């Protein structure tokens, strides 16, 4: 969610129990604008918080002119001092997927991969690498996985130019209340996968400038999103049941929207059996 609109945005998603203490809000209100200035980001989003056993990671994302370009991610343990995270690699994602259990809250903590997967640890050892994974690497992979799976935006909020770059749509004035209650009105804000599999007949009704992302209506498993009207029907809130703690909000007929994650960084693998 947009850093400048953080106090109002947090109030809109508070129905699910997500929130920050007044001290943390004040610290973020001071540190995020400084972060934007020091790193020369065009925009800064507060991504959320991953709660560990002994501490919490507060995450921010820095954006450039092209909103679809890889984002710079930073974490803080106190909402004041920030550390830049390296981009996620395929190896990080593969290793993090095998790790289970809570985060510790210590970036230097090391997970012994030999205890988790013997075959994986042997491959690493043969390649001259220690069969361990630092928690910071797991944090990088988890943020990337959550963003890919449940980072969403309303239809029409962003436009794709003929050159391929993605920018905020200045003409976007929000979804109508009727449209805001449909899963098809929200898109995954990541590289599309299902869009490539659509037939030419299905693509004929799509606007290439706005319909360049994958819609939520085909997410697997079916029923992995909860849509609710809150604040007397003035706010539409989507919650992910796959990544518990991810909350998206949109105020119909306005430009106000965003998502935030407050959770343990663990995927709900039991969801298919719960539906």
Per-residue pLDDT reduced to its tens digit, 35-56: 999 999 999 999 999 999 999 9
Sign of CA pseudo-dihedral 136, 139, 145, 150: negative
Task: Note the pLDDT of residue 95.
Answer: 87
Give the Cα separation of 31 and 79 in Å (integer): 7
Which region holds residue 177: left if phi is over 0, alpha if psi is between -120 and 50, else beta? alpha
DSSP state letter for 54? S
**Paired tokens of 161:** 């130019």
**Paired tokens of 143:** 């943020």
Give the Cα separation of 119 and 260 in Å (integer): 36
Q: pLDDT band at residue 132, thresholds of 50, 70 and 90?
A: confident
Q: pLDDT band at residue 83, thresholds of 50, 70 and 90?
A: very high
Q: Is 37 helix (H, G, I), strand (E, B) or coil?
A: helix
Task: Note the pLDDT of residue 160.
Answer: 87
Task: Note the pLDDT of residue 220.
Answer: 83
| 3-state DSSP percent of the chain in helix, strand and coil, to 5 | 35, 25, 40
Averaged pLDDT, 182-194? 87
Using CB atoms within 10 Å of the CB of residue 126, give its burial: 0 to 12 exposed, 13 to 18 middle, 19+ buried: exposed
Averaged pLDDT, 68-76? 91
User: What totals of helices (H) and strands (E) does the chain contain, helices first?
Assistant: 9, 14
Q: What is the pLDDT of residues 223-269, one digit of tens each?
A: 899 999 988 888 999 999 999 999 999 999 999 999 999 999 999 98
The model's pTM is 0.89
Residue 10 near residue 58, CB atoms below 8 Å: no
Task: Note the pLDDT of residue 195.
Answer: 65
Q: Mean pLDDT score of the chain, rounded to an integer? A: 86
């Amino acid at each position: 969610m947009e850093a400048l609109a953080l106090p109002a945005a947090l109030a809109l998603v508070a129905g699910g129990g997500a929130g920050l203490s007044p001290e943390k809000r004040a610290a973020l209100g001071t540190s995020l604008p400084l972060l934007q200035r020091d790193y020369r980001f065009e925009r800064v989003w507060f991504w959320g918080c991953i709660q560990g056993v002994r501490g919490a990671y507060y995450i921010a994302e820095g954006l450039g002119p092209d909103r679809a370009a890889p984002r710079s991610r930073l974490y803080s343990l106190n909402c004041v001092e920030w550390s830049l995270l390296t981009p996620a690699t395929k190896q990080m994602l593969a290793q993090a997927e095998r790790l289970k259990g809570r985060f510790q809250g210590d970036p230097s903590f090391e997970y012994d991969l030999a205890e988790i997967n013997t075959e994986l640890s042997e491959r690493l050892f043969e390649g001259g690498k220690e069969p361990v994974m630092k928690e910071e690497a797991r944090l990088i992979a988890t943020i990337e996985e959550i963003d890919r799976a449940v980072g969403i935006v309303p239809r029409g909020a962003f436009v794709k130019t003929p050159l391929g770059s993605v920018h905020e749509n200045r003409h976007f004035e929000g979804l109508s209340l009727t449209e805001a209650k449909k899963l098809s009105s929200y898109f995954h804000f990541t590289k599309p996968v299902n869009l490539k599999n659509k037939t030419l007949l299905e693509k004929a009704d799509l606007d290439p400038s706005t319909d360049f992302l994958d819609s939520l209506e085909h997410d697997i498993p079916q029923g992995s999103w909860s849509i609710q009207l809150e604040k007397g029907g003035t706010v539409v809130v989507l919650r992910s049941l796959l990544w518990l703690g991810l909350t998206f909000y949109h105020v119909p007929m306005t430009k106000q929207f965003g998502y935030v994650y407050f959770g343990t960084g663990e995927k709900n693998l039991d969801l298919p059996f719960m539906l």
